Structure 1
Amino acid sequence: MANVHGGQILVDCLRAFGVRRVFSVPGESFLAALDGLHDSGLENVVCRQEGGAAMMAEAHGKMGPMPGVVFVTRGPGATNASAGLHIAMHDATPLVCFVGQAPLKHRDRGVFQEVDYRAFFGPLVKWVAEVERTDRIAEYVATAFRIARSGRPGPVVLALPEDVLSALAEETPHTDAASPDLEMSDRQAKRVLEVLGTAERPMIVVGGSSWDATTAQTAAEVARRLGAPIAATFRRQDYIDNDHPNYAGDLGVGMNPALGKRLSQADAILVVGAELNDITTQDFSLIDAAHPPRIVQASSDPDALSKHYPAELSFTVDPAAAFGALAAALPDRAGADRGAKAARAEFEAWQTPKETPGEVKLEEVICWLRDNADPKTIITNGAGNYAAFLHRYYRFRQFGTQLAPTSGSMGYGLPAAVSAKLNHPERPVICLAGDGCLQMTIQELSTARQYGADIIVIVANNGRYGTIRMHQEKSYPQRVSGTNLFNPDYVALAGAYGGTGHLVTKTGEFPAAYRAAEAGGLHIIELRLDPDMLSTGFSISDLTQD
């Protein structure tokens, strides 16, 4: 075999593993990799800031089936990317980050932008390594992909010294290692059904990663046959068709109090892919650790089993295999209702809009989208009180239509929307963002335009960091500090990026703006909200109490 530079070896490995798109902000530390990408057939989406690039790659990894891939340069480039890596770690998203590194020959001399990446990224990712030999690049890439996808998926970082990447070596690509099968036996499935079948108030809780449309359908069918309510965890609402009669809502931030009460009173809980963590249980208050219900837990991550509450039965198995085995063991008929109808009624009552102050009612906007948007529409968001309206009032009817960070990271919605539109150009994509959230990654509007990602951006503009202001007003009343925001003219900004802007000052103006946006192109729809709506006069606590 002919000798080629390390950048070519790296890119050939990506092609062999099935990667078709990467995200990057270019840097002189990985010029050889950029050269390898030149005629590779891989799309290199060049972003405006490494945090945005990593978030796009994370969203790509969420959509599957391949891990997201991002290239960033050393020093400030790598540290900027850490925001997206943190999201991937919390959300169990497979992601591979390649970082250009200072030349190996100058290691530990404190040269320009040198960082000890093992020390820096160690607590943030599943695995971090630095390649020291060009002829081992393929080996390291194969290991990175295996670790990113195995067990509980997550991000890995490979540091690539500039001189190692540019040196020549014989190309000996490594093949991608297959993930081990994670199955549930017939005997194990019967044991699970013995626990659930004898319960009077069972509940199914789904979440985590490693999910797909078939798993969503099978999970819903298991719930139907058991007659049990099924709930999703924080920002995993698209795991079950929200119109399904057994769907009971989400156990997330701002959850329906009735659903929280139902969880606390359940006598058996089947937890698949999810965790009964602080968010799911409202700071561990909904389940008594001293007297827990009968818990059955299935996860591809053995470390997640019985992590916070003891499980009577636990299985290291992926969600598809778990629900497949349960469906095969259950009779193909509807079981007796054991709380599903009442839980569904509580969910539908929870979706009745609660009026907020101001001329633009965010709850009515979300309800309009719920009733009028194409079910295939992908909705992305970052963090902020505005997102609670989406969680409460929208209905996700298909798997793969919700992209949001369980880590609570601001700025995620816009990069995720760009990534989603590139992955699914035929589907509508909406980024819902607060004004503070959007401005953290607003420069990626340029990336959207460069690559023809015609997304719809809906900005909930109340001129402040609303969530922080809400807590501030509660803890230090009438002492506003550091939470007011200046906003750009979003209509003019849309035009500056070659798109179209719409200013909505009354709720009734929204449908026409959205219909115009549906026609194509980049659109920004600004919702001019009452400044107190999401902070002082009407807080998230008001939204979550009926």
Structure 2
Amino acid sequence: MASNSTVSNASTTTGGRLLVDALTANGVDRVFCVPGESYLDVLDALHAHADIDVVVAKHEGAAANMAEADGKLTGRPGICFVTRGPGATHASIGVHIAQQDSTPLILFVGQVPTRELGREAFQEIDYPSMFGGIAKWVVSVDDATRIPELVARAFACATSGRPGPVVVALPEDVLSAACPSAPAAVAPTAASGPDPDAAPRLREMLVQARRPLVLLGGSNWSERAASDFSAFVQAWNLPVACAFRRQDIFDNRLPQYAGHLSLGMNPELAALVRDADLILAVGTRLGEIATGGYTLLTPPRPAQKLIHLHADAAELGRVYQPDLAIQSAAAPAAALLRGLEAPASRAWDDWTRRAGELHARYQVVPAPHAEARGIDLGQVIAHLDRTLPDDAIIANGAGNYAVWLHRFYRYRQPRTEIAPTCGAMGYGLPAAIAAKLRHPDRTVVCVSGDGCFLMYPQELATALQFDSPVVVIVVNNGMYGTIRMHQEKRFPGRVSATDLRNPDFVALALSFGAHAERVESADAFPAAFERARAAGRPALLELRTDPRQITPQSWLAGHG
């Protein structure tokens, strides 16, 4: 964290400079933005702060996604600046992702001058009304002298309890206003810890169980927290199922790993959740997807006994009434669990072994369908699983292509799965760029569907401009696959609005200056992937896949 010595020494300054001083004091080293005239004073102040890297995206939605991904990777608020009106509406997707993914994010938005507020001036938006339902806090700065105070509060709010997004509106005249220099306030860091008196009860409930199951999720899991949790699980030999797109918290290669509580989850895993006599939920909110639409655990009092550990007291009892509720952030919760003395004998060893065996069977890549044409995606993901280093980061957006990734790739370390739990399309490429900028020495791969990639293909220009050599895998089946799947189930043979007329993805990527290849067979993928990794610049591989292969074991009979 930078010291307050970076704050301007002049007796007077401007609101824009006070704001950037406050960012520096709170440890900000990178901001993502699309420039706008409504916050020119901030851009000017950033010019004097070489210690803050300014990454300019080509679309505000992509900039917000990059900032959200950076928040996932660091546990500190990702920072995004956009202009008023259209900039704010475009960037709202990042705020929604941060809310549902519990990611610390601060979105700074330009605003009309204070004298024009309430008149529906050019590009004016009532930000508290617009963002109030998806942000933890929305504030408009109406006095430049309060900028240090409000920025510190924004950092504290974004990181406290259940992390999430904060929106700060910046009227133009407040940013340009002359004001006295002031020390930049630094947000306090305080993580909620568990009540130690809860440990004996927690241990007693675990020991008495016969079919316990751990449901793991939530945000901001450090390597230490994940290590502590893993040590607890292995000492107690408990089966672990990870919540939707939170697989990287627990090493998927361990025998205790029971699978992924995902869309279209393994039916045998769903049966395990129903049959469990005790659920230990750690970090997860127990949301719709992880609970199979609130059917695997029935609110408000599930049939299974429930121990729920979560960072935010407001989430404990919000949907499910637990038998034991413990408020705790991930790190102290994991330390508490690791400190529990494991029993000398366990009644659930056969149950844990069965859970691991069911998942291992489900994870076997099926043989390609006899009529399939194009690349079998299962073989592609299996190759990534075999060859990528443990610390490789994989980013993805939303679409049925992700089913293969989440099912057949084994995540090994925390903060290596960068994916939106809210199911936002277009997230993968911006998130991958942010990840590569944060970890330039690690392999970063974006896996994207054709429709998903086309949300923000222009961000290849950002990757080139800011030296972010990511590898992008575009799974091209010529349609919005998830929507087509549901369409065929409800209205078989009546295709409407789900076909895609795609560009030449290779030519598109080459036009940006990226390395690009089209891969026609699974056998050709390994060599093409290595060429992409070695290219030294952003690279795109287009994979042509059969549109009838909509999930790993299904065949879309109504298409073709």
Q: Check whether TM > 0.5.
A: yes
Q: Distance in 2 between matches of 1:530 and 1:478?
A: 17
Secondary structure of the residue aligned to 2:67 is helix
- Shift of the alpha carbon at 1:324? 0.7
- Please name the residue that 1:344 is paired with: 356
Q: Is the 8 A contact 1:413 1:431 kept in 2?
A: yes
Q: CA RMSD in A?
A: 1.9
Secondary structure of the residue aligned to 2:197 is helix
Which amino acid in 2 is paired with 1:324?
A
1:99-148, Cα deviation, whole Å (9 max, x unpaired): 01011111122221111111111112111010101111111111111111
- Please name the residue that 1:286 is paired with: 296
- Shift of the alpha carbon at 1:537? 10
Q: 1:334 to 1:95 in 2, by over 3 A?
A: farther
- Please name the residue that 2:27 is paired with: 18
Aligned counterparts, 1:61-460, within 5 A: 61-289=71-299, 292-331=303-342, 337=349, 339-354=351-366, 355-356=368-369, 357-460=372-475
Q: Distance in 1 between matches of 2:330 and 2:302?
A: 27
1:462-500, Cα deviation, whole Å (9 max, x unpaired): 011111111111111221111111111121122111111
Q: Distance in 2 between matches of 1:378 and 1:157?
A: 28
Q: Distance in 2 between matches of 1:322 and 1:316?
A: 8
Q: Is the 8 A contact 1:10 1:141 kept in 2?
A: yes
Q: Is the 8 A contact 2:549 2:556 kept in 1?
A: no
- Shift of the alpha carbon at 1:507? 1.1
Q: Distance in 2 between matches of 1:146 and 1:128?
A: 13
- Please name the residue that 2:547 is paired with: 531
- Shift of the alpha carbon at 1:169? 0.7
Which amino acid in 1 is paired with 2:316?
L
- Indicate yes or no: 2:12 matched with 1:3: yes
- Indicate yes or no: 2:47 matched with 1:38: yes
Secondary structure of the residue aligned to 1:502 is strand
- Shift of the alpha carbon at 1:276? 2.1
Q: 1:164 to 1:286 in 2, by over 3 A?
A: same
- Shift of the alpha carbon at 1:184? 2.3
Q: Is the 8 A contact 1:225 1:333 kept in 2?
A: no
Secondary structure of the residue aligned to 2:458 is helix
Q: Distance in 2 between matches of 1:368 and 1:287?
A: 36
Secondary structure of the residue aligned to 1:442 is coil
Q: Is the 8 A contact 1:201 1:338 kept in 2?
A: no
1:143-197, Cα deviation, whole Å (9 max, x unpaired): 1111111111100101000011011111223422323342224431121010011
- Shift of the alpha carbon at 1:251? 0.8
Which amino acid in 2 is paired with 1:304?
E
Q: Distance in 2 between matches of 1:316 and 1:292?
A: 22
1:440-473, Cα deviation, whole Å (9 max, x unpaired): 0111111000000000000000011111111111
Q: Distance in 2 between matches of 1:181 and 1:104?
A: 36
- Shift of the alpha carbon at 1:344? 1.0
Residue of 519, 522, 525 corresponding to 1:510: 525
Q: 1:29 to 1:326 in 2, by over 3 A?
A: same
- Shift of the alpha carbon at 1:78? 0.5
Q: Distance in 1 between matches of 2:123 and 2:251?
A: 48
Secondary structure of the residue aligned to 1:326 is helix
Gaps of 5+ in 1: 542-546
Q: Is the 8 A contact 2:161 2:191 kept in 1?
A: no
Secondary structure of the residue aligned to 1:82 is helix
Q: Is the 8 A contact 1:254 1:540 kept in 2?
A: no
- Shift of the alpha carbon at 1:540? 9.1
- Please name the residue that 1:483 is paired with: 498
